[in-house]
Homo-oligomer: A and B are copies of this chain.
Amino acid sequence: MERITSLTNAKVKFWTSLKDKKSRDEHGLFIAEERHLIEEACEAGLLETLLIKDGEKPYAACPDTYEVSEQILKKVSGTVSANRQIGIVRKPAQNAARERVLLLDEVQDPGNVGTLIRTAKAFGFDSVILSEGCADPYSHKAIRSTQGAVFSMNVIYADLKETIRSLRKNGIPVYGTSLKNAVSLEKIKPAEKAAILLGNEGKGVKPELLDLCDQRIVIPMDGFESLNVAVAGGILAYYFRKA
């Protein structure tokens, strides 16, 4: 096992660069810090590199493992509290299934994006499709919020107009969430194939996207018409859960 102690080592610089979305996108890699995330990345065959503190027992078997100093772990880490091990993880390959889909229009909080990926996984959805302007699903906060669901979910950036048209052409009904001109969720017959479109925390779904949907739907509420987008997504994904 190689040992690295210099903060200016080229590998350390490269790992540290993965705190930025640009580098994550360019290299198809991201950082996992929680133990269970490192273990799950390894099980999914996605753990590229493991950094461990001098003398630690590695969380997972990884051929490319480095012993590093505490200063290096702190530098590579995205968190304030120092982790004892850090995994460099490959973004999962995408499969072709697109029958049960969440579409996110500019959901900007990384916790919400991560939680929606976790929820999609819990209710048997195969894909989460993000517009430009969504929070990066591979940031530390988003990854932590997915609780590992990101390792086995299609998470794709795409143009939502094109995606909605293509889904509908393939016989997948697209439901857009909206407080106005919308049918109550209870009136909708849950289908196994479905796409649910959720919007920005402040502004909701863009009208031009709602216009392309099969139906606008609203979750019936009691006077206070306000739900967090991840909670709304949870209620809808549960409603359309796989039988």
Contacts and interface: CB of A to CB of B under 8 A. Distances in A.
B226 A228 contact: no
Interface in A146-196: 147-149
B242 A222 contact: yes
A219 B118 CA distance: 14
Interface stretch (A61-69, A73-81, A90-98, A233-241): A233-241
Interface stretch (A8-16, A52-60, A119-127, A206-214): A119-127
A222 B115 CA distance: 16
B124 A227 contact: no
A221 interface: yes
A222 B223 CA distance: 32
A228 B115 contact: yes
Interface of A: 111, 115, 118-119, 121-124, 145, 147-149, 219-228, 230-235, 238, 241-242
